[in-house]
Amino acid sequence: MKKISYTLEEIEVVSRQLLDEVPGKTLLFYGDMGVGKTTLIKSLAHHLGVKDVTGSPTFGLVNEYEGEHRSKIYHFDFYRINDEIEALDIGIEDYLYTGAWVFIEWPEKIEGLLPEDAVAVRIEKSADGRRELSF
């Protein structure tokens, strides 16, 4: 397991490092509300060539972005779903096996649907405001 400690001012460097070192394209973001999951995903999308404004898809469940060379990036936020059936209803399985980058916030809500090769990214906030990221 790799661990990185960072401040929000260092997020661009950390997100580039994360993209360079993760072994897969499906990333599962675990962490408390307000720890910076969406902020990190925004930075990851920027590095992948997304020009659109990115934000949390909490109410729509998924945001689709176009990156470099017309590549697709999918950002899910399952905070508000009640069960895996809701994720199946939006076609989560179709997204997971496209070969595109897939970023999922609150993956614990759909544990039974996640691919085995998905990479867990855990973020914690320390008392001094630094983030501790592990994957």
Q: What would the mean pLDDT of 75-98 be, rounded to a whole number?
A: 94
Looking at per-residue pLDDT, the higher value among 131 and 69 belongs to 131
Report whether 15 contacts 44 (CB < 8 A). yes
- pLDDT digit string (tens) for 52-63? 766 666 556 899
What's the pTM value of the predicted model, to 2 decimals? 0.92
Q: Lowest-pLDDT range, 56-60, 92-96, 111-115?
A: 56-60
Q: What would the mean pLDDT of 96-105 be, rounded to a whole number?
A: 95
pLDDT confidence of residue 69: 85
Task: Read off the pLDDT band of 20 (50, 70, 90).
Answer: very high
Average pLDDT, the chain: 93
Report whether 116 contacts 1 (CB < 8 A). no
pLDDT confidence of residue 51: 87
Q: Residue 94 has which token pair?
A: 């179709």
Q: Which 3 state secondary structure label does DSSP give 29?
A: strand
Report whether 39 contacts 8 (CB < 8 A). yes
Domains and CATH numbers, the chain: 3-134 (3.40.50.300)
Q: What would the mean pLDDT of 39-52 be, rounded to a whole number?
A: 93
Q: What would the mean pLDDT of 70-90 be, rounded to a whole number?
A: 94
